Amino acid sequence: MNTTPKRATVYFESEIHLALRLKAAETERSVSELVNEAVQHSLAEDAEDLDAFDERVNEPSLPYEAVVKDMKKRGII
């Protein structure tokens, strides 16, 4: 895998950009490092979710409507 950094233009809301710049200065890290770390964390969470879906692929699926009707029938809602 090529680990050469790639350049991208990202537009942040002004408050988020300010927070990133302040955190970068406070932690002596670059904004790029902080953004890369956040994206890696988000992708790792996605990978965990996909693994969980794979583990449960053979479980029966319940339609939302059936669950709500059953809850109403049992007096839960």
* CA distance linking residue 11 with residue 32, whole number of Å: 13
pLDDT in tens, 24-73: 999 999 999 999 999 999 999 999 999 999 999 999 889 999 999 999 99
Residue 2 confidence (pLDDT): 79
pLDDT of residue 25: 98
| Cα–Cα distance measured from residue 38 to residue 66, given in angstroms and rounded to the nearest whole number | 38
* pTM assigned to the model: 0.68
Q: What is the pLDDT of residue 3?
A: 84
H-only helix segments in 1-77: 14-27, 31-55, 64-73
> Distance between CA 16 and CA 22 in Å, rounded?
10
Tell me what pLDDT residue 76 has: 96
| Lookup result for tokens 């233009």 | 9
Cα angle: 34, vertex 40, 41; to 5 degrees: 90
Residue 1 has pLDDT above 80, yes or no: no
